[in-house]
């Protein structure tokens, strides 16, 4: 076995952190940086992992896909990071994938994503498509009506998410009146909302992200839409975006997510208090993307501790950490949203999906929660393509395709 002499000779554990501290996505990605540093600081204050402190190397992706691709290479080559926490959009994930796969690196992706992918170098700690819109679309039709307009940012996650949502619209006798896509970062949404207004839908399903999402809600309010009759339903517009736009603008709108700051349990109460009181808590709120990032760091800590029971630093690899993550559970005592675990085959996380409505204080009232965990299924809508296992996509004809994309 090839020795990891570079790691063995260090007295710390280098990890990468790649999110956007600047640009149109920083409204949400900045808090992922903060909570990663917060979680690593807590680990270090408790003695580190295996007696070593964890050293984060941060790269600002500047809300730019190409910069993500450059950044992940720099973190791996120049800093020798053992793993990397990062990525918010699926476009950024796909930009990093060639380098991650070629380097046999380990990426923790802490955001919602579309599925249709089976990669052996990623641990996904955010929800996949079958874990949120499956509940959200029937809820919206049942409570507001069957006619919807879709609007999203123009990249792979919104398009694939809307494909999933269309299936659930059809199965629940809904009708998609229009489907629009705006370039990432665009904030002029007046024409798009004008079209939606003319369609007079029962609800709007938004997969806009970053500043584009803020612009949608602000323009919606300016145009005088009635949020009691025609709310915006989203999978991403969380407490952080509401804080940025103002709770008066976010009030009444709907979000589907595995975590809300308002969750009532002792672990979440302690997490919210500790994080917001720390030097890293300047966002002023917690939200699901932030919490999914926190879970990623916890999962890394638990997996690395398990590896060190049988491995020394000279023989430790990213593959070892991934293998130790199969089936890894984070219990009620450590996970703010409650018990979750990493699927041992596809390395996505099992969650309890929830639906909340934003209140006047910017916090979400939980209106619906699944009665059980929903297992992640990256190929839920594409069973003909096969099943994602730990060694690759197992196709119906008996082939195993490592790092299967699309």
52 domain residue, yes or no? yes
23 in the same domain as 120: yes
320 domain residue, yes or no? yes
38 domain residue, yes or no? yes
145 in the same domain as 59: no
| Per-residue pLDDT tens digits for 37-49 | 999 999 999 999 9
298 in the same domain as 201: no
- In this prediction, residues 72-80 reach a mean pLDDT of 97
| Per-residue pLDDT tens digits for 387-400 | 999 999 999 999 99
Position 281 confidence tier, pLDDT thresholds 50, 70, 90:
very high
Position 4 confidence tier, pLDDT thresholds 50, 70, 90:
confident
The domain boundary residue, chosen from 234, 251, 278? 234
360 domain residue, yes or no? no
382 domain residue, yes or no? no
Report the chain's mean pLDDT, rounded to a whole number.
Answer: 95
What are residue 58's DSSP bridge partners? 17
51 in the same domain as 16: yes
Q: CA-CA distance, 340 to 335, in Å (whole number)?
A: 7
Angstrom CA distances, 163 to 67, 149, 312, stand at: 28, 13, 46
In this predicted structure, what is the pLDDT of residue 2?
64
Q: What stretches of 246-375 show up as alpha helix (H) in DSSP?
A: 247-250, 266-277, 288-307, 318-325
391 domain residue, yes or no? no
- In this prediction, residues 161-188 reach a mean pLDDT of 95
Q: Which CATH number belongs to the domain containing residue 188 in this structure? A: 3.40.50.2300
317 in the same domain as 332: yes
Residue 142: which domain range?
Answer: 133-234
% the chain with pLDDT above 70:
100
143 in the same domain as 70: no
Question: Regarding beta strands 364-369 and 354-358, do their DSSP bridges make them parallel or antiparallel, or are they unpaired?
Answer: antiparallel
Cα–Cα nearest to 192, from 205, 180, 177: 180
Cα–Cα nearest to 250, from 155, 175, 390, 356: 356
Task: Quickly list DSSP for 261-297.
Answer: TT--SHHHHHHHHHHHHSTT-TT----HHHHHHHHHH
379 domain residue, yes or no? no
DSSP reduced 3-state for 50 = coil
139 in the same domain as 120: no
121 in the same domain as 18: yes
% the chain with pLDDT above 90:
94
137 in the same domain as 92: no
141 Cβ contact partners less than 8 Å away, ≥ 6 residues apart: 169, 172, 173, 174, 202
For tokens 């991650």, the residue is 100
For tokens 């600002």, the residue is 60
206 in the same domain as 107: no
Decide if pLDDT at 261 tops 70.
yes
Decide if pLDDT at 1 tops 60.
no
For residue 107 the two structure tokens come to: 């990426």
Q: Looking at the 3D structure of the chain, how many domains does it have?
A: 2
| Per-residue pLDDT tens digits for 348-372 | 999 999 999 999 999 999 999 998 9
In this predicted structure, what is the pLDDT of residue 35?
98
241 domain residue, yes or no? no
Of 127-136, 157-166, 266-275, 357-366, minimum mean pLDDT range: 127-136
- In this prediction, residues 182-191 reach a mean pLDDT of 95
In this predicted structure, what is the pLDDT of residue 406?
76
| pTM for the whole structure | 0.96
């Amino acid at each position: 076995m090839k020795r990891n002499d570079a790691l063995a000779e260090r007295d710390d554990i280098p990890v990468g952190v790649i999110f956007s501290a600047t640009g149109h996505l920083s409204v949400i990605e900045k808090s992922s940086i903060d909570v990663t540093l917060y979680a690593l600081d807590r680990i270090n204050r408790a003695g580190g992992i295996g007696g070593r402190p964890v050293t984060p190397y941060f790269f600002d992706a500047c809300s730019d896909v190409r910069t993500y691709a450059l950044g992940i290479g720099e973190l791996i080559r120049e800093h020798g990071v053992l793993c990397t926490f990062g990525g918010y959009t699926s476009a950024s994930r796909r930009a990093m994938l060639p380098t991650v796969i070629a380097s046999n690196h380990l990426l923790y992706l802490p955001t919602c994503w579309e599925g249709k992918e089976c990669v052996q170098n990623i641990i996904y700690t955010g929800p996949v498509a079958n874990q949120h819109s499956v509940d959200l679309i029937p809820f919206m039709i049942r409570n507001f009506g069957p006619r919807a307009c879709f609007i999203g940012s123009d990249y792979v996650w919104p398009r694939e998410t809307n494909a999933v949502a269309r299936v659930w619209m059809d199965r629940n006798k809904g009708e998609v009146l229009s489907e629009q896509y705006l370039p990432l970062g665009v904030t002029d949404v007046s024409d798009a909302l004008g079209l939606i207004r003319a369609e007079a839908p029962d609800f709007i399903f938004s997969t806009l992200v970053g500043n584009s999402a803020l612009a949608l809600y602000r323009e919606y309010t300016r145009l005088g839409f009635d949020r009691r009759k025609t709310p915006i339903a989203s999978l991403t517009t969380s407490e952080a975006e509401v804080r940025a736009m103002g709770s008066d603008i976010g009030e009444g709108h709907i979000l589907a997510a595995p975590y809300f700051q308002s969750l009532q349990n002792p672990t979440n109460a302690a997490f919210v208090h500790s994080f917001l009181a720390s030097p890293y808590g300047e966002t002023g709120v917690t939200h699901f993307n932030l919490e999914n990032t926190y879970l990623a760091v916890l999962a890394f800590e638990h997996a690395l501790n398990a590896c060190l029971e049988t491995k020394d630093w000279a023989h430790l690899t990213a593959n070892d950490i991934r293998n130790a993550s199969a089936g890894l559970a984070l219990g009620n005592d450590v996970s703010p949203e409650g018990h979750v675990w990493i699927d041992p085959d596809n390395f996505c996380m099992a969650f309890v999906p929830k639906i909340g409505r934003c209140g006047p204080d910017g916090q979400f009232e939980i209106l619906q929660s699944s009665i059980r965990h929903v297992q992640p299924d990256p190929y839920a809508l594409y069973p003909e393509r096969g099943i994602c296992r730990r060694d690759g996509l197992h196709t119906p004809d008996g082939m195993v395709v490592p790092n299967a994309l699309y």
